[in-house]
Structure 1
Amino acid sequence: MAQDEPYQHHAALMALFEVLEAAGRTELKSELLQELERQKQALESWRESPAIEQVALEQVLDEIELASQHLLELSSRFGQHLRENEWLMAIKQRSIIPGGTCSFDLPSYHLWLQQPVAQRRADLQRWSLPLMPTAQAAAILLKLLRDSGKHFSYVARRGAFQQMSGGKVVQLIRVSFDERYQVVPEVSANKYALNIRFIDAGTGEVRSRQVEQDIEFTLTFCKF
């Protein structure tokens, strides 16, 4: 959105449509509020603990409180202002068709793309602003979840790693490794086991395959 070119603002609008689809569930607001309240209560139990930096704790609690207030102030479903904009919905509908946003199909959209940068940026900000309370709440919860992680070092022998769950329940798994390996992790998991295969990143000229070398990596298990 901070960029100036028409194609960049086109990409920003397409991303806005994707967010609308991904976060359009009616129960999202209530679920976020419930989780924020649950995290608030959990963190409040650490008040006065000598093991916790109290200034940082109060800052997080203030962020949770503010995010909850902003969510409660929302009077409509996530992205409802976008759904009620017939012009935007016409663009969204055409955007799922290959080549569907060409100028002969959406002349008014291409006219908008040629408007001054300041006007396009103001429109994008106006369309995005009502989504920010939801985005901020989700960002706070994701940060708390990631910060809760416990780190373990492993080696994937010949590019493969498996670990039985042993009844362990996690909400997020993070895989970290040195970029010198030039590999991509493929992760699959169920209630019984976690499997990771490290695939040669390749150049796009040959089919990617599991590497034969040992890969040192860090596995982070995150759970509220």
Structure 2
Amino acid sequence: MPIRSRRSLLWASIVIRYEHPLNERVRTLLRLEDLFDKVAFFSAQEEPYDHHAALVTLFEILDVTGRADMKSELLQELDRQKQALELLRKSPENPEGGLDEMLNDIQISSQDLRTVAGKIGEPMRDNEWLMGIKQRVGIPGGACEFDLPSYRYWLHLDPEVRRSDLDEWIATLLPIEKSFRILLRLLRDSGKTDNYTANKGMFQQMGAGRMAHLLSLKLDESMACVPEISAHKFALTIRFVVSSSTQKTRLYEEDVEFELTSCTF
């Protein structure tokens, strides 16, 4: 199962955050977040190779969102979260108006998603030129100039022209981006955090994965190890292994202090 990492600043020390999804739905949301972040970065650049990377990443998003039920699943989850927040808003412990902004964001996102006709990214899927490129980039070296001369021409256009095209294609995917970012924000904000120590690189907790949908682990950057997480409804196991690009995987045989957050929808 994949582990995503992010850098952040915590007090005076630099930590790395590793996120581990515990079901397929959250795994898909994290993959989409990663892909959309890459598209935003590469499309903002000037060079042809950057815009090629942005387009290839857009094709990956089309593959991830290719299921016919993707849109309905997102709408169902948004509706479920809206109902939960409506109940919470009526609680006397909730500050007046404290959830109004989030509820409004959910309402707008749901409306935008409902206006999407067909599959997510349907305009891109109907573009014969784009689909011809998508088919070729799936082949190692398949996007060479002799295979795709028209694509070669596009990569030599003015950067602003290419960026305008990319923005147009990205726009067809914005409703899904708004939706999954809202859901991930709600999920992360639900987290309960505790500090633990892994004795000689090993940590186990019984029943920790029974209710959680996402685990977020923070580790000091100075620790030359990375977590390998295995979780199910009966137990959570974390092995800290030596971080090395040249050696075989082996256990980090020192105590490791870390912060663990369990997040649940």
2:101 maps to which of 47, 59, 63:
59
Deviation, 1:44, is 1.1
User: What code does the residue aligned with 1:108 have?
Assistant: S
Structure 2: any 5+ residue segments left out of the alignment?
1-42
- Given the alignment, which residue of 144, 150, 161 partners 1:102? 144
- TM-score, length-scaled by structure 2: 0.80
State the Cα deviation string for residues 171-205 of structure 1 (Å, max 9, x = none): 11111111111322111122322111112222x23
Give, in whole Å, the separation in 1 of the partners of 2:204 and 2:76.
34
Aligned counterparts of 1:75 and 1:210: Cα–Cα separation in 2: 50
DSSP-derived class of the 1:45 partner? helix
* Cα contact 2:227–2:239 (8 A) shared by 1: yes
Percentage identity across paired residues of the two chains: 50
Deviation at 1:54, TM superposition (A): 3.2
Are 2:188 and 1:146 aligned?
yes
Contact 1:159 1:211 in 2 (8 A): yes
Whether the aligned pair in 2 keeps the contact of 1:48 and 1:54 (CA below 8 Å) is no
Structure 2 equivalent of residue 77 of structure 1: 119
Question: RMSD in angstroms over aligned alpha carbons?
Answer: 1.5
Q: Which amino acid aligns with 1:213?
A: E
Q: Is the 8 A contact 1:149 1:221 kept in 2?
A: yes
Q: CA deviation at 1:98?
A: 1.3
**Structure having greater relative contact order (Cα 8 Å, sep ≥ 6):** 2
Task: State the secondary structure of the residue aligned to 1:18.
Answer: helix
Bigger Rg, which one? 1
Q: Which residue does 2:255 correspond to in 1?
A: 214
Normalising by the residue count of structure 1, what TM-score does the alignment of the two structures yield?
0.94
2: CA distance between counterparts of 1:215 and 1:143?
A: 28
User: Helix, strand or coil for the counterpart of 1:181?
Assistant: coil
Q: Which of the numbers 24, 44, 52 marks the counterpart of 1:2?
A: 44
The question of whether the paired residues in 1 share the 8 Å contact of 2:209 and 2:235 is answered with no
Q: How far, CA to CA, are the matches of 2:103 and 2:155 in structure 1?
A: 42
Q: CA deviation at 1:135?
A: 0.9
> Are residue 193 (structure 1) and residue 235 (structure 2) matched?
yes
How many residue pairs get aligned? The number is 223
Q: 2:58 aligns with which of 7, 13, 16?
A: 16
State the Cα deviation string for residues 8-37 of structure 1 (Å, max 9, x = none): 101101110111111211111111111111
The match for 1:158 is 200
Could you tell me which amino acid in structure 1 is paired with residue 258 of structure 2?
F
Structure 1: gaps spanning 5 or more residues: none
SS in 2 for 1:196: strand
State the 4+ residue runs in structure 1 displaced beyond 4 angstroms.
Answer: none
* Aligned counterpart for 2:172 among listed residues 125, 130, 135: 130
**3-state SS of paired residue (1:55):** coil
